[in-house]
Structure formats: C-alpha cells, structure tokens
Amino acid sequence: MATLHVLSHSPFGDERLDSCLRLLGADDGVLLCGDAVYALREGSDTQRQLQAANLAQRLFALDEDLQARGISGALAKAVGYQAFVELSLHYDKVNSWL
Amino acid sequence: MKFAIAVFSPAHAPSSRRALRFAEAVLAGGHEIARLFFYQDGVHSASANVVTPQDEQDIAAQWRAFIEINRLDAVACIAAALRRGVLDEAEASRYQRPAVNLPKPWELSGLGQLHEAAQTADRLVCFGGD
C-alpha cells in the first residue's frame, strides 16, 4: 500500500526523518510541513540525504511553511492545502510522524 | 470521499492550525468529514476557557466556528479531557467539579469513536506535534 508520510518536526532535533527514509517504500511519498521543511535547507546534510534518497515526484513540502521559513526547497514540490488533500487521496493511507 | 481527522496537539501548536486548514480544504474540495477526533493535548481546543493573546490567531475559536458552521461531529476523548480538566456538564457533576468548560457542539466520548471513524472514513489523517 502506497503511503504518504507526513513529517512536521525539525530534522535537526530527532531521528524521524532518518527512520522515515529507512522504511520508505518504493511507491511511498513524503510531505514535509512545519519545521520539517528545514530538511530542504540549501547545503545542509539533510538536503543531501533527501537528494540521495532519490524521491523525484514523491517529495512534497507545504508551501506556506517554506515561505514562512524562507526556504526555496527546489528539491520538493511545493503544495497548498488543496493539494495536500488530493495527495492524501492519491496515496492509500497517510502516516503522520507525530 | 470521507475523511476522519485526529488532532493530538493543543490550539496553540502549529499542527492544530494545520489540521484546521486541512479540514477546511477537505470540505472546499467537495469531500466529507466523518468525524473530528481530539485526543491527548488536542482536547484543550474544546475548552471554552482558552484565552488567546490578542496578537495571535485564536485557533480554538476557529475550530468551534468551523464545527458549528459545518455541523460536524467533533469528539474530545473523554479520558484525555478529564485528566486535563475539560469537562461537560455531566462529568463536572459526576466528579463534583466547580466548572463546566465543554459546551456543545463538542462531545466527550471514548477512543472507540476514533476507531469507528477510521473504519467509516476513506482516509484517517492525524495531526500532532509541532
């Protein structure tokens, strides 16, 4: 079952992003929101980690959270809430890393 | 499509606001919300006694308005609510507490309501943490 993983914690404070990428299925997607969008910071280890994970077309970030933090996040597709809803339907289930 | 939405964080957490914006987008997209379930610190959003600083968005009030306008089924977990002092009239009288701070449209009920909502809905989406 293709799962959309929703991350909202900063990747610099805990291991959620590492754990998520470790068990990510081939068809799973990742949506970064809140402080999790810091993972896309230019030149950071986490950005390299995401690049290496090869998530083309499967990595998304909530647009308002990118904007609020001044992160360009070229690696991810920026989405609004409408697209968040559509993503949650596109994938079979949504797993929030609370 | 039918959504069940579970909120684990209080109204002052960014994730509660995110849950509310998501819920609004669900309805705007022509979908249905089978139930909103407020669990753990999420039950604070149901309290009528939350006072938000004037320079901040009052997300608890926005939740209440959203639920009332759209006539949604909004449940606060009873065990989580009791331990945090969020009481409706029946519970305040049962435990002889001096105040009631959970008015309608909120309902106090058990975790079974989350399970049932998850079974009824096409998607369960949870919001919590930061």
Predicted local distance difference test score (pLDDT) of residue A26: 95
Q: DSSP for B41-85, please give it.
A: GGGGGG-TT----TTS--HHHHHHHHHHHTT--EEEEHHHHHHTT
CB contact under 8 A, B128 and A98: yes
ipTM for the complex shown: 0.96
pLDDT digits (tens, 9 = 90+) for B84-117: 999 999 999 999 999 999 999 999 999 999 999 9
Predicted local distance difference test score (pLDDT) of residue A56: 87
CB contact under 8 A, B126 and A98: yes
Residue B78: band (very low, low, confident or very high) from pLDDT cuts 50, 70, 90: very high
Instruction: Give residue limits of the domains in chain B.
Output: 2-127
Q: From chain B, pick out residues whose CB is under 8 angstroms from the CB of A32.
A: none
Cα end-to-end span (Å), chain B: 27
What is the pTM assigned to this prediction? 0.96
Read off the pLDDT of each residue in B20-37 and give the average, rounded to a whole number. Answer: 98
Q: Which of B77, B81, B108, B121 is catalytic?
A: B77
| Ordered per-residue pLDDT tens for chain A, 98 residues | 899 999 999 999 999 999 999 999 999 999 999 999 999 999 999 999 999 999 989 999 999 999 999 999 899 999 999 999 999 999 999 999 99
| Homologous superfamily of B2-127 | DsrEFH-like (3.40.1260.10)
Q: What percent of chain B has pLDDT over 90?
A: 98
Q: Which residues pair with A62 in a beta bridge?
A: A79
Mean pLDDT across chain B, nearest whole number? 97
Give the C-alpha separation, A17 to A73, whole Å. 16
Inter-CA distances, B61 with B17, B57, B90, B101, Å: 11, 9, 23, 13
Count of alpha carbons within 13 angstroms of residue B50, beta-carbon side: 25
> B38 — contact with chain A (CB < 8 Å)?
no
Domain hosting A55: range is 3-96
Predicted local distance difference test score (pLDDT) of residue B39: 97
The total of structural domains in chain A comes to 1
Per-residue DSSP letter, B126: E
CB contact under 8 A, A34 and B130: yes
Which H/E stretch holds residue B3?
strand B2-7
Give the C-alpha separation, B39 to B130, whole Å. 15
Quick check: B33 pLDDT over 90? yes
Buried b (16+ CB within 10 A) or exposed e, A44-81: eebbeebeebebeebbbbbbbbbeeeebebebbbbbeb
Q: What percent of chain A has pLDDT over 90?
A: 96
